[in-house]
Structure 1
Amino acid sequence: MDWLWTFPHMDDNRLRLIRTTVDDAFRTFTRAWGDPIQALFEPLRLLLVWAEWVMLNTPWPVIVLVVAALAWGASRRWPIVVGSVVTLLLIGLFDMWDDTMRTISMILVCTLISLVVGIPIGIGMARSIRLRRIVSPILDVMQTLPSFVYLIPVVMLMGIGRVPGLIAVVIYAIPPIIRLTDLGIRLVNKEVLEASDAFGSSAWQKLVNVQLPLAMPTIMTGINQTIMMALAMVVIASMIGVQGLGQPVLRAINNQYFTMGILNGLAIVGIAIIFDRISQAFGQRLQRHREHGHA
């Protein structure tokens, strides 16, 4: 009866043959198409290099003033403004400014790509049940697959560097903006859509003038979550050459530098809190504006 307790498994030689065949096929593919794929993503590399150059060469008082202005414009609350400014000043005081600017430039570019790609997909899912059924399982896999797993094909295709890290971060961070764009558009009041139809609005006019504005608070929540997930990938992305706050954390782990790890980790937390408070406050203001508009 021992066979009842032994899970049936494939023959070792056959399993080894399958693995070897798949690995060899993927290596052949990377040798043949690695360079063309790298050339395809060259504009992303240039965008990231430019964003990093801008953040590193902008004087720190200008960065602090811009963040303070964004915090005030989004929230109209002094505690958020003061907290954002103090966080940035502490980051500079502990000599983490350059790494922080590299991290912020990466997050900004990743968020931009996620919005450009994710919002149209979310709109398509809201308008097509068939597309939603196709995309939803893919998003489930993207959100549950360990990030180390999809680093393997990205690194094999494109090697170590900024662009592989950028792609890995986008893959990890894009699902929330797709899902919440889809959800926000589907939650728009049907009576409002019927009124829009009664005024003779086209599908494009209804989308731009009615659905997207009303769904914007939910979309802002998606943007917030995308930023948070991108920041969560900073340390993992540093393993494949992405510069920023993740590399000192990784170095601290490898060499057991307690203070370096804690300080850079707190800097990541501080940046996350700034992004979170500003984006959440802006989303809440949009929500209040929408409610007052309906009143």
Structure 2
Amino acid sequence: MSQTTIRTAMVATVCTGAGCRRRQETGQAARLAESGTALCPSCRERLERELRRLPALFEECARRLDISADRERDRVSGGSLPGLPLNTAAVEARSAIVSVLASWSAAVVQERGVRAPGRVVEELAGFLLRHVDWLAAHSAAGEFSQEVARLARRAARVVDLAPSRRVAIGGCVEDGCPGRLTAAVRPDGPGVPVEIICDATAGHRWPGHQWLQLSRLLGARTDPGATGDDSAAEVSAGGLPVAAAVPRTRWVSAAAVARLWNIPSGTVYRHASQQQWRRRTRQGRTYYHDADVHETLSDLRRST
């Protein structure tokens, strides 16, 4: 962020947000900003979406610290673990996220006289989201939007979250919504969605770990008379269930749980043992009852 003091945008002008800047680069016209702001509705929505996404990207980059983005390992000299493989792209992406969010948060604190958040990505992103109305009403909003977009793109390249394809799932599960759901699927986990998105309503979107619960709703709508069935389809890292054949009971591999909930596999096995998840074994592989998985991990997420 530049050191220039943020100044309020007094009139609606051409949007300076990340999306409209990209449009201009491809020869398209930028959209008009909303009255009294520097962003159009689309760029404003994108800004909020990417701010919400940054904490998860930050954590995912941490899981990639020992895997070089281009498969070439850099060596760290000295220290207690000489020769430790280091993904410098992940380190730089994480550092940039903290630095940029902290810089913009400091500007808000200075201008508004509010209490500063902790220097933790989740707190910084949440703080900026709470002040997004105020930020959108400043001439520097375009710069803010573009910097946040760059952070998200950079981190997504590191963790390879940019989906290679979208898989059609079925109709939106929200009552009265005419939209269709698609799952954004990443290349390294073709059976595990990163995000489920409705094509009609921007607010109808769910993180990947909620796929199991959504698929139950989809299955119930497809076959209202379905009942519990232990012959249910298995969800693994290798296959995404299809709505037209979704049974009520689902058995989930440890790899799928780890990816859907963004936790280490070791944590999955620990909870399975401690919470005595129901399990079944097929062809030497263990699968866990999705209801047990959801109950344990949902409770943990709410308590943190």
Q: Classify the TM-score, shorter chain.
A: under 0.3
Higher helix share: 1
Higher Cα Rg, which structure: 1
Higher strand share: 2
Instruction: Please report the TM-score for the alignment, with normalisation by the length of structure 2.
Output: 0.23
